[in-house]
Structure 1
Amino acid sequence: MLQKIRDHASGWFAYIIFGMLIIPFGLWGIDHYIHQGSGVYAAQVNGDEISLRDFQNSLQQQRSFLLNLNKEVDDASLKLKTMEQLINERLLRQYSKKENIFVTDEQLLNRIKSIDAFRSDNGNFDVHLFDLALQRQGYTQSYFMEMLKKSLPVEQFANAFDATALFTREDLGGAVRLLAQKRSVEIFNFLHSPVFNLQHANDADLNVFFEKNKSRFNNPEMVKIDYINLDLNALLDKQSVSEQELLDAYKQQLSIIGTPEQRVASYILVRVPENANENELKKAEQQATALYERLKSGKSSFDKLGDELQHSADKTIEFGTLESLRPGVMEPAFDQALFSLAKVGDISAPVHTSFGFQLIKLDKIYPKVIPDFENVRSTLEKQLAYQKAETQFFDVTDRLATLVFENPDDLDAVATKIGVPIEHSDWFSINGNNGGVFSNQKVINAAFSDDVLLNGKNSEPIQIGDRHVLVLRVVNHKKQTPKTFDEARLELISSVKNEMAKNYLKKEAGNLEKMLFDGEDVTSIIEAYGKTVEHQRLDEIARNFTGLDNSIVESIFKMPVSNEKNVAIKSIELANGNWVVIKLLKVTNGNAENLSANDRKAWTDTLTKQISDVQMTGFINELRGAAKIINNIDRL
């Protein structure tokens, strides 16, 4: 198995590395990642420390990744998952070292070349893009390669489990039968809104409800905070770029701005068979050389010879023209030969490529176009201002995490040391809808957390947007207070009417269930209920059907199968107050025999991966069971 692990150094980690290159490495900075600092650690695995800054880096990277996907971030859950991931990776790395599982330089190089961030538009690895991406992240080549080399063994395990996971034909049949099942249903949707609008609540109703539910009507808990607000967009306005900086940037980027030189070329190709032997290669080379000598002698022009060969009986020879070729577009041998030709009309000696032996004639040169400095001034100025603001932002946020950790009770000290002002909020509530950053759920969660509100601590840095970080401290607090009847009146009216509508709809849904069980005509049922009920029949819907509320689809596929003695009918209440009655009409099981080859492979790959993940988790749990782990997550 170990050799199989070694042989499969490819897969999900390239995605992680790509993410690291397109998402900032973290608010805490690469320098802190390399130079570890005070000796405080987040966890210890068999005596091997996971530093606080390793944890902070990983946590912030995952926060940024989720935010870029427009996902809600639960900080408490994310902390736990990040710590578990770091511990698991450290265990796998330790096991790799113990079992002498390693990554060769060739595997490492191939991995780097496979990362999309380092590929040009034509899909080839681009050294310039590689260097530029590392520079932007503050990496040296040696550090990046060492980091990747240490991480790749972890990925080898996942690939090894993928390669050995077993999923039989019978397993596939059973899974498809259930998971690809389709169901036909009738749905009756009792609408909450029109029923709600018909309800009337008098003062007696309101008073009764208020007395029974006083705890529901309160003035919300509120706070005022002081906060440090770091926003890259705000920093942009404060950046200045000198004329010399613009000129220097222009000179540095001459190689990448503008349009590169392009060439038009004709070619005569003597093809060789796939997997050609030595004699076949020699024969093709001799044929190409003879054609080259004929051209050199002046007995024929390139175009005339090419046209003659194209219409000859010898179908191993091809003549054609290639337009707008930039450096790096063609394979290296062809590329080097074409761009070595000095002037239009020059012809190359036979060039051995993957297609055969080619003669290349330079037909036209489109020189590189470099835009005038004034035409790119505005773009360069914006780029440099952004780079300066970004550098300043990451420098400040890098120090911010450490300073907050070192000064948990003093926001003034943190603000002074990083040179930013403290801002002050008005009252805002735990219920949200406060406007600006104070409506951000992560800000609300932090302000009303026990550590900040009750213990008087500074919050951790909160990422509330891309390159926007906030640290807060509560300076004033109002506890929740009960509302009087008059203060709660509008809420009471809505609550009572809602309760009336809910009771009515629940009762009517029950009545409809009975009608359907008794076999009453659907058309007459719909006419009786009028506009308060929407009816639809859906045939052969799958589990991933998006035309209904998720809770309805979930309920449909949890219903028992109907038969002559047992008609499957169910009613549920939706989050919007509607009540839905579902009648199951038909169940059609999935059939693996009907899958196309591509679908069969997709199903098998997905289900095999699920088995592999379970096995990988089991393996990691074994390592955890035998390891000595100190986890300080509760102190972070």
Structure 2
Amino acid sequence: MLQAIRDRITGIVAWVIIIGISITFALWGIDSYLRRNVRTYVAKVNDTEISERAFRRAVQQQLRQMRVLMGNAFRPSRFNTPEFRRRVLDRMIEEELIVEAAHDAGMAISDAYLASRIRAIPQFRKDGKFDRARYEAVLKRQGMPPALFEAQVRRSLLVNQYIGAVTGSALATSWETAQGLRLQAQQRRFAHVRIPVARFRDQVQVSEKAIRDWYESHRKDYQAPEKVKLAWIELDLDDIARGLEADPQEVRKRYEERVKALANQEERRVRHILIQVPTGASEADEEAAKKRIEEIRREILSGKIGFADAAKKYSQDPGSAKQGGDLGYFGRGVMDPAFEKAAFSLEKGKLSEPVRSQFGYHLIEVEDIRKVTPPSFEELRPELEKEAVREEAEKRFYEKQDELANLTFEHPDTLETAAQSLGLKIHTSDWITRKGTAKGVTANPDVLEAAFSDEVLVQGNNSLPIELGPNHVVVVRVVDHRKAQPLPFEQVRDRIRKALIEKKAREQARALGEKLLGRLRAGEPLEKAAQALGLEVEQEDFVRRDEGKLDPKLVREVFRMPRQAPGKRTFTGFTLDNGDYEVVVLQAVKDADPGKVDAGRKASFARNLARLSGRRELDAVIASLKAKADIDINEDMLK
């Protein structure tokens, strides 16, 4: 059991390494290999179980991603729903189906390709090169055998391979592209009447009885939320590092190793010309880019243009084109592998053949070659001291992390034992709800989920170690609990009154809008009907979908309206997000002319359409896989 807990802690930390690899799906479900004697599962896909622990980790990973995307607007309570958990589980099921389908299709990731991707991970590189000792040391600190890590990476690459095979074959026909361009830049002219909700608020009367009746029938909506007080202990690598000093002998040793590693290395100053090939490009786009780079190469070889001038004129690398393609000096392990191989195999002043990298096709010219001059000891000493302290701090952190996990598990009803043994301070919070606080430990969604979990809140145990960030973990427990309680009527009376006024005002705005729509249905002109009701008509000339001056919902609804049939009007009504009611009469639709769109924009639009088509094809494939699969979902786990 203790080892399972250690696996859980280190697995979360190790996730940072795996995220460094570009993958389409998060690596959900893998850690089922780490857990034995699983008696329950959240879902079973054919013969493969998705464990509760794998599912919980996937939920937490998604919550962390949402927190990054939403920033201060993130509220954990918005995602603490069965619907959110179901979406996460659906993604896990889809990934498992893709893995099985890839195996059935005979797909596989070669050892050579797997090795190349792992070698490219920055955490495993030293002085610009893959370092086997560092690779093993990093994984050892995470408690993860290399074979297991490699299996995880191989799985994620396999998922990518299958997705690429499905989506990469999608194309956009010229007709689809033309139709899409017509619609994308389409313009619409319309007249509209806005009925402000504000004009009715002062007219609405709400009785005391209505307020009381609403309170009695909606008591569940007016409650003081459930609250807890927490205690926690933190283990932070940075805190450990601040108390350490570098060993002078270790620093000198590191310098000598650095000098030795640089002894035979060289740097090259390179110019390049890039013709981009977007991810998922069609074979035609690929061939066009290759043909273009070959044309540029012939022009340079003919002497009609110099390399630097050609780069300024043709290169699609915005970072170097204006400098004549100059990338400056760089050593090995910095550039794309294919680019690096070509650059370091060229003689000075020679022009390369076209080189295909992950970005597109390149022409490369080596301007200069120089030996790497090692910096002096004094120049490197601050960096080496920091590096030595960091590695020693990491070593101590992972030792203490294991001890923290063991002690808080062996003494589940207290944090005192672990705090005293590890020299850590016990922190406490004031009352907090499931929404947490604006910052600090109690703002972390993982902490909040643990605090209100059955194991911590009901059973009174310490939480498992929770990762707040890289090399920063915390264990929490609940020291006091206050259940949700109904708020007194007097405390919510004004809130209910305002809500009822707003509700009735919106109803009256809508009712007046419906009267206007009724007159339009009877054939009355908009101007006359509006005037009869004391309303004003606003006229909008041709607007585009990306119009920024009008209410976004108004624009969306206008472009959802069907074209007017000959001799008939098209009109509609709807409530805006602020409560105002809009009545719209569509007057004219003007499609864009695809023939006036430049070739570059047209090609880009076609690629985007192809990607959308590929996504639809992938969705269809996944739907088919689901229909054929035996999927058992434990709905109780999602509540």
Q: Is the structural similarity TM-score above 0.5?
A: yes
CA-based RMSD of the aligned residues comes to 6.1
List aligned pairs for 1:85-234, cutoff 5 A: 85-94=91-100, 96-97=102-103, 100-108=106-114, 127-128=129-130, 145-163=150-168, 182-192=187-197, 196=201, 205-206=207-208, 208-214=210-216, 215=218, 218-228=222-232, 230=234, 232=236
Alignment partner for residue 608 of structure 1, among 613, 621, 634? 613
Structure 1 CA distance, aligned partners of 2:533 and 2:240? 63
- Do the aligned partners of residues 507 and 408 (structure 1) sit closer, same or farther apart at CA in structure 2, a change above 3 Å counting? farther
Aligned partners of 1:199 and 1:519: how far apart in 2? 29
Residue pair 2:343, 2:366 contacting (<8 A) in 1 also: no
Structure 1 residue aligned with 2:584: 582
Provide closer, same or farther for how the CA distance between residues 18 and 424 of structure 1 changes in structure 2, counting only shifts above 3 A: closer
- Give the corresponding residue for 2:637: 634
After superposition, the Cα gap between the structure-2 partners of 1:222 and 1:52, relative to the gap in structure 1 and judged at 3 Å, is closer
Residues 1:427 and 1:326: Cα distance change in structure 2 (over 3 Å): closer
Q: Over residues 349-368 of structure 1, what are the superposed CA-to-partner deviations in whole Å (9 max), with x where a residue is unaligned? A: x989649xxxx999996973
**What is the aligned counterpart of 2:489 among 465, 475, 484?**
484
Pick closer, same or farther for the CA change 1:445–1:621 going to 2, 3 Å. same
- 3-state secondary structure, aligned to 1:572: strand
Q: Deviations over 1:248-282 (max 9, x none)?
A: 6666666899xx9767899xxxxxxxxxxxxxxxx
Cα distance change on mapping 1:92 and 1:496 into 2, 3 Å:
closer
Hey, what does 1:570 align to over in structure 2? 572
> 1: distance between equivalents of 2:158 and 2:441?
42
TM-score by length of 1: 0.61
CA distance in 1, matches of 2:153, 2:117: 9
User: Distance between the aligned counterparts of 1:455 and 1:323, measured in 2?
Assistant: 61
Partner SS for 1:539: strand
Hey, what's the Cα distance between the residues in 1 that align with 2:270 and 2:154? 42
Could you say which residue in structure 1 is the equivalent of 2:279? none
- Is residue 187–residue 581 contact of structure 1 (8 Å, CA) maintained in 2? yes
User: Per the alignment, do residues 438 and 195 of structure 1 end up closer, same or farther by CA in structure 2, a change over 3 Å counting?
Assistant: farther
SS at match of 1:213: helix
Partner of 1:555: 557
Q: CA deviation at 1:621?
A: 1.8
- Which AA in structure 2 matches 1:103? I
Query: What's the offset of the Cα at 1:617?
Result: 0.5
Partner in structure 2 of residue 621 of structure 1: 626
Residues 400 and 414 in structure 1, CA contact (< 8 A), matched pair in contact too: no
Pick closer, same or farther for the CA change 1:622–1:520 going to 2, 3 Å. closer
Map of 2:498 onto structure 1: 494
Name the SS of the counterpart of 2:560 in structure 1.
coil
Alpha-carbon displacement from aligned partner over 1:563-589 (angstroms, at most 9, x marks no partner): 466533333333433433433333345
Once the two structures are overlaid, the 10-residue window that deviates more, 613-622 or 548-557, is 548-557
Kept in 1: contact 2:97–2:626 (CA 8 A): no
Which residue is 1:69 aligned to?
69
Partner of 1:11: none
Q: Is the 8 A contact 1:36 1:53 kept in 2?
A: no
Structure 1: stretches of 5+ with no match in the other structure: 1-14, 267-309, 339-347
Kindly, what percent of the aligned residue pairs are identical? Answer: 21
**Pairs within 5 Å for 1:171-320:** 182-192=187-197, 196=201, 205-206=207-208, 208-214=210-216, 215=218, 218-228=222-232, 230=234, 232=236, 235=239, 239-244=243-248
2:603 aligned with 1:598, yes or no? yes
In structure 2, the residue matched to 1:539 is 542
TM-score of the superposed pair, with normalisation by structure 2: 0.61
- 2:171 and 2:610 in contact (8 A); partners too: no
Say which one has the larger Rg. Answer: 1
User: In structure 1, how many angstroms separate the alpha carbons of the residues matched to 2:193 and 2:254?
Assistant: 66
Partners of 1:225 and 1:488 lie apart in 2 by 25
Q: Cα distance, 1:613 vs. partner?
A: 1.0
Distance 1:371 1:619, change over 3 A: farther
Taking a change above 3 Å as real, the CA distance of residues 213 and 598 of structure 1, as seen in their structure-2 partners, is: same
Query: In 2 relative to 1, CA 200–611 (structure 1 residues): closer, same or farther, beyond 3 Å?
Result: closer
Query: Which is further off, 570-579 or 93-102?
Result: 93-102
- Once residues 270 and 210 of structure 2 are traced to their aligned partners in structure 1, the CA distance between those partners, rounded to angstroms, is 90
Query: Does the 8 Å CA contact 2:99/2:159 hold for their aligned counterparts?
Result: yes
- How many residues are paired up? 541
Does the 8 Å CA contact 1:131/1:141 hold for their aligned counterparts?
no
Q: Which residue of 2 aligns with 1:345?
A: none
Unaligned runs of 5+ in 2: 1-14, 272-299, 309-323, 355-364
Change in Cα spacing, 1:478 to 1:59, as seen in structure 2 (3 Å) is closer
How many Å separate the matches in 2 of 1:128 and 1:166? 39
- C-alpha distance in 2, partners of 1:256/1:20? 26
d(CA) in 2 for partners of 1:130 and 1:549? 58
Question: Residue 519 of structure 1 aligns with which residue?
Answer: 525
AA of the residue aligned to 1:610 = R
